[in-house]
Structure 1
Amino acid sequence: MNRIKYELRRIKNYLFFLKKIRMPINKQEKKIFYFGITMHNNLGDQAQKYCIRKWLSKYYPERFVYEIPSRIIYDERFHYLEHLKKVVQPDDMFVFQSGYCTLDLGPAFEDKMHRMVIQAFPNQKMLIFPQTVYYQKEENRQRAIREYNIAKHMLFLARDHISYESALSMFDKLKVELFPDIVTSLIGAFSFDFQREGILVCARNDAEKFYTSQDLDKLIVHLSQKYHVDCTDTTLPIDPYWLDQNLEYRLIKEFEKYARYKLIITDRYHGTIFSLIAGTPVIVIKTNDHKVTTGVDWFKGIYDGYVYLAEDLDSVRLLTDQIICKTYTHSLTPYFNEKYYSKLKEVFEDVTI
């Protein structure tokens, strides 16, 4: 029964987005086509969508934004690229959702969508928001090199040093820049004055996790002997349709939750960023890839005392006792918005067309 409900909800979500993208497109208006819009219930990805929408609204208020889910592109039964070819004008801009998308893990649908759009519109001005780049197979890497590099006017943003070096070596025909995840632009944007107690463990339950559930359970039991401990994840049982309609409200509620604790422990990259948005110190534990641990590098020398990278779970126990005893202002500066995202339009405008 749960599976049936899930499928019905998924169909409803796709019908909703199909209705949105089938709106008449005015050829004469200035447009932005936003590809890969998040349609699931991972709050980290949803926060990226929220921030991208805000950024586009602030810096390109004169342009109408058409949001297009990835499946509408890579599922060729929709024939949506053929529709776009009839309405896209030379000065229209393309932007792509941020994330762990430039890769060959699993079905890699987002990467396929990127390549399909680039192949169909190589002359369009494009901005790919910060990506983690990771190809396991050389044949897939070579295909990406061939198919991304035909873009004539693309700004490709990599969100960590490893991805940046990979992108530089692969995409030598593109303008590649190192940029933090766009959700970092929310750090310093909120002020919370809650009574803070205990620890929140934000742990993933997918193929990227490094520690077993049993290992984490032992850690939680150990910490619970001294502190109140709650558990959460950035992927929550929320209807994506409802989430899209109430996104700002739900994200603020999530930030408020993180702001009620003295410490966050997480293996989620956006769990780390949510902690900093809440002004809460965070211990980061490793995953099976570089995304989370290299993401921590962004905060060194900026939010020292708030972000700690644990070598193993034993060090988590030691760090917890040290951090809980410290006094924090819980107020951080909007460094990443001022340093990067307030200047991104200038960087993008430098991609000549």
Structure 2
Amino acid sequence: MKLRRRIVVFIATPTHGNLGDQAIVYAQQAFFDRMGLGDSVFQITREQYYSTAERLAEIIRKTDLIVVDGGGNIGTLWPVENDKMIDIISRFKGNPIVVFPETAFFEASDEGDRTLQEVKRVYSAHSNLCISCRDEETFRLLKWAAPQARVMLMPDIVLSLNHASGKSPRKEVALLCLREDKEAVIEKQVRSVIAEAICHANLEIREISTVQAHLQPITRRTRDGAVKQILDDFRSASLVVTDRLHGLIFSAVTGTPCVVLDNVSGKVSAGYKWLEEIPNIFFCSKSDDIKLLVRAAVTQGPRRYSVDRRTDYYKMLQCEIERMLLG
């Protein structure tokens, strides 16, 4: 802080083993690196934030930019994450805050209504807030909840990575990357159909998860290696079948053929809309289509990913960040 007029604070960054969340922070850092601001970024982990939040609010200057990680953090699906967002936005009311691309989901219940009203109360009270949204429903909700904020529609920030494709040899392996948590909607018989379709494609099945159990927290120092490893795993496969948003995204940026199914909140199908032009990625809305789509994806083979069609969205975010830093 003594060396720089302003700093960029990534606040409450994850240390858990969800590599989708870790890839988001990795891509955010790369985003600021490309802006020439990488050396101004200071990261505060979630644990550090919760233990020192009041002190941090005193130390961080009102001109410093607060960055909140993207993800599926707004609403009732993951209440702890929503509470974290509420706390940050209300605690740093005097700072410019940028929220990287988010998905919101509010259940149709009294609790969902109460949570949405609380989000509206806190977000609308902040005078210098920029929120990025990964889908049109989130965009519509947050435009209503925070009418004074700069609300933008854009892809997940991991799709801004343009260097993940490579020439690593592909193995005759299909990665099965399916959820086992409350976001999962795929029934047991559908999993059997998927396995049968993969066998017909003469590929070996390997189950993989984008959530890993780590004995040690993932830190800024170890994050790059963890993200690069999961990208290498996807890059080495001939096919991915997934119902995880970042399973889809990791497939896209590594050029790996993919058949994608939706999750309970619909964020996967919303994420696919940003990638519809990629010929080796197929969205499966009916289990009867799985065999056909697996065959089509394998036939298409690997493709090199390009961020070009998404560049204008990220430039819009860059311009807003520059405005907030200069304001």
TM-score (norm 1): 0.82
Q: 1:226 to 1:28 in 2, by over 3 A?
A: closer
Q: Alignment RMSD, CA only?
A: 2.4
Q: Report if aligned partners of 1:196, 1:259 keep a CA contact under 8 Å in 2.
A: no
Q: Report if aligned partners of 1:41, 1:239 keep a CA contact under 8 Å in 2.
A: no
What is the deviation of 1:39? 1.1
User: 2:84 pairs with 99, 102, 113, which one?
Assistant: 113
Is 1:100 aligned to residue 72 of structure 2? yes
Tell me which moved more, 272-281 or 116-125.
116-125
Is 1:278 aligned to residue 254 of structure 2? yes
User: 2:144 pairs with 169, 172, 176, which one?
Assistant: 169
Q: What does 1:84-163 align with in structure 2 at a 5 Å threshold?
A: 84-106=56-78, 108-136=79-107, 137-163=112-138
What is the deviation of 1:185? 1.0
What is the deviation of 1:150? 1.1
Tell me which moved more, 41-50 or 311-320.
311-320
Q: Which runs of 5+ in 1 are unaligned?
A: 1-24
Instruction: Specify the SS of the correspondent of 2:217.
Output: helix
Question: What is the letter of the counterpart of residue 101 of structure 1?
Answer: N
Q: Report if aligned partners of 1:180, 1:336 keep a CA contact under 8 Å in 2.
A: no
Q: Report if aligned partners of 1:30, 1:63 keep a CA contact under 8 Å in 2.
A: no
Instruction: Specify the SS of the correspondent of 2:210.
Output: coil
Q: Report if aligned partners of 2:165, 2:235 keep a CA contact under 8 Å in 1.
A: no
Q: 1:157 to 1:186 in 2, by over 3 A?
A: same
Measure the CA separation in 2 of the matches of 1:236 and 1:158. Answer: 26
Q: What does 1:15-54 align with in structure 2 at a 5 Å threshold?
A: 26=2, 29-54=5-30
Q: What does 1:64-103 align with in structure 2 at a 5 Å threshold?
A: 64-73=40-49, 75=50, 78=51, 80-103=52-75
User: 2:174 pairs with 193, 199, 204, which one?
Assistant: 199
Question: What is the letter of the counterpart of residue 60 of structure 2?
Answer: V
Q: Which runs of 5+ in 2 are unaligned?
A: none
Q: Report if aligned partners of 2:15, 2:219 keep a CA contact under 8 Å in 1.
A: no
Q: Report if aligned partners of 1:27, 1:89 keep a CA contact under 8 Å in 2.
A: no
Measure the CA separation in 2 of the matches of 1:323 and 1:58. Answer: 33
Measure the CA separation in 1 of the matches of 2:220 and 2:77. Answer: 27
Is 1:340 aligned to residue 319 of structure 2? no
Question: What is the letter of the counterpart of residue 245 of structure 1?
Answer: R
Q: 1:187 to 1:266 in 2, by over 3 A?
A: farther
Per the alignment, residue 17 of structure 1 pairs with: none
Q: 1:191 to 1:87 in 2, by over 3 A?
A: same
Q: 1:242 to 1:97 in 2, by over 3 A?
A: closer
What is the deviation of 1:97? 0.8
Q: 1:52 to 1:308 in 2, by over 3 A?
A: same
Q: Report if aligned partners of 2:155, 2:310 keep a CA contact under 8 Å in 1.
A: no
Is 1:233 aligned to residue 209 of structure 2? yes
* Pairs aligned (count): 321
Instruction: Specify the SS of the correspondent of 1:36.
Output: strand
What is the deviation of 1:221? 4.0
Question: What is the letter of the counterpart of residue 129 of structure 1?
Answer: F
What is the deviation of 1:329? 5.6
Of all paired residues, the percent bearing the same amino acid is: 21
What is the deviation of 1:196? 4.2
Instruction: Specify the SS of the correspondent of 2:131.
Output: strand
Q: Report if aligned partners of 1:184, 1:336 keep a CA contact under 8 Å in 2.
A: no
User: 1:182 pairs with 157, 162, 187, which one?
Assistant: 157
Q: Report if aligned partners of 2:128, 2:149 keep a CA contact under 8 Å in 1.
A: yes
Measure the CA separation in 1 of the matches of 2:56 and 2:201. Answer: 59
